[in-house]
Amino acid sequence: MNEELVGRERVVPMDGIELWAEEFGSPEHPVVLLVMGAQAQGVQWNDGIVRRLVEGGRRVIRYDHRDTGRSSVVDFAVRPYTVADMASDALAVLDAFGVARAHLVGASLGGIIAQRLAVTDPERVLTLTILSSQPLGTDTAAVVRRAMAGEPPAPGELPPPSTELLAALASTLPDPEAGLEGHLALRLPLWRVLHGSVLPFDEEEYRAMERRVFERARDLAAGFNHTLAGAAGGDDTADLASVAAPTLVLHGTEDPMFPPAHAEASAAAISGARLVMIEGLGHSLPRAMDARLAEEILRHTA
């Protein structure tokens, strides 16, 4: 399982920008599109997960969102965008690989993007897997603002990120002049919090992942535009009642970003959705979970 994973890379043009994408597996197999979260690159879907999905008979595609990795950097002040635009990017990737319908697997913000596609473009979605995410239409920005101001959640509002995570997020703004070691010094403490306190924390694993992220990024700070895109809103949780794709909600019991109530709300909003809580998992994808996550995805997409 340690041989290098080699994919077929492609640059996808999309309305004046370029998206980096990579596919694995046989073109004859059903497609799993992996959609990463905010500020995250496609390669943060671990090679171990990708390899297991390919060995399970899936054609796997992962890609860099706009403003991450090798995809285009956007001047947000001149050309603002929304989650709806990021969902259109996902469709452009599928179109570029000649894929009419795919199994969508979205993590965190990627889960929201995948939900939106299941609502707006159901003919493109074979199944939906929502990982470490929350219901479409949740006003996360308002929740975080209230939490950081020390205010209680509004009636009916889902719980905010943990106090420890909010403090860690506030201290991780990238410094373009810091270099690799400065970048690692900022990011590793954040990953310790996101990882959770139950599973052993492998610092070298996260160090290697962030080193790869640093080396691939055109502009590390650009990914923070995803927060602005998410704050633009425009979706409604009630829309999830229309989702017809078979849906799996995967979530960690120790997620400090979206506590388990978020997963329960997602599953409740989508008819027939199956909720699987993963003991000890936080808001990250450690290699120790590759086999379990791939197993759940393969079962759901069978």
Q: How confident is the model at residue 143 (pLDDT cuts 50, 70, 90)?
A: confident
Pick 102 or 143 by higher pLDDT: 102
Q: Residue 51 above 80 pLDDT? A: yes
Q: Residue 282 above 60 pLDDT? A: yes
Determine the Cα–Cα distance for residues 2 and 83; give it in Å rounded to an integer: 36
- pLDDT of the residue at 151: 87
Q: Residue 208 above 60 pLDDT? A: yes
Q: What are 178's two structure tokens?
A: 């810091």
Residue 185: HSE in the Cβ half-sphere, 13 Å Cα cutoff: 6
- pLDDT of the residue at 123: 98
Residue recorded with tokens 């479409």: 136
- Flag the least confident range among 32-41, 84-93, 228-237: 228-237
pLDDT tens for residues 107-120?
999 999 999 999 99
pLDDT tens for residues 156-165?
899 999 999 9
Q: How confident is the model at residue 169 (pLDDT cuts 50, 70, 90)?
A: confident
- pLDDT of the residue at 1: 45
Calculate the average pLDDT of the chain.
94
- pLDDT of the residue at 174: 66
Please name the residues in contact with 211: beta carbons below 8 A apart, sequence gap of 6 or more.
180, 184
Determine the Cα–Cα distance for residues 149 and 128; give it in Å rounded to an integer: 35
Pick 79 or 151 by higher pLDDT: 79
What value does the mean pLDDT take over residues 38-44? 97
- pLDDT of the residue at 3: 63
Q: Taking Cα atoms as reference points, which of 229, 227, 285 lies closest to residue 255?
A: 285
What value does the mean pLDDT take over residues 184-197? 96
Determine the Cα–Cα distance for residues 127 and 129; give it in Å rounded to an integer: 7
Alpha helices in the chain (DSSP H): 47-55, 83-96, 109-120, 140-148, 163-170, 179-195, 203-216, 225-231, 260-269, 290-300
Determine the Cα–Cα distance for residues 267 and 256; give it in Å rounded to an integer: 19
Angle at 262 between CA 252 and CA 152, to 5 degrees: 115
Q: Residue 227 above 50 pLDDT? A: yes
Angle at 38 between CA 32 and CA 39, to 5 degrees: 110
- pLDDT of the residue at 131: 98
In angstroms, the Cα distances linking 165 to 193, 202, 210, 297 are 6, 19, 18, 28
Torsion of CA 46, 50, 56, 58, to 10 degrees: 150
Catalytic positions, written as ranges = 108, 255, 283
Determine the Cα–Cα distance for residues 138 and 50; give it in Å rounded to an integer: 29
Q: Residue 152 above 60 pLDDT? A: yes
Burial (CB count within 10 angstroms: exposed 0-12, middle 13-18, buried 19+), residue 28: exposed
- pLDDT of the residue at 145: 85
Ordered domains of the chain (ranges, CATH): 8-300 (3.40.50.1820)
Q: How confident is the model at residue 2 (pLDDT cuts 50, 70, 90)?
A: low
Can you give the pTM of this predicted structure? 0.95
Q: What are 274's two structure tokens?
A: 């199956």
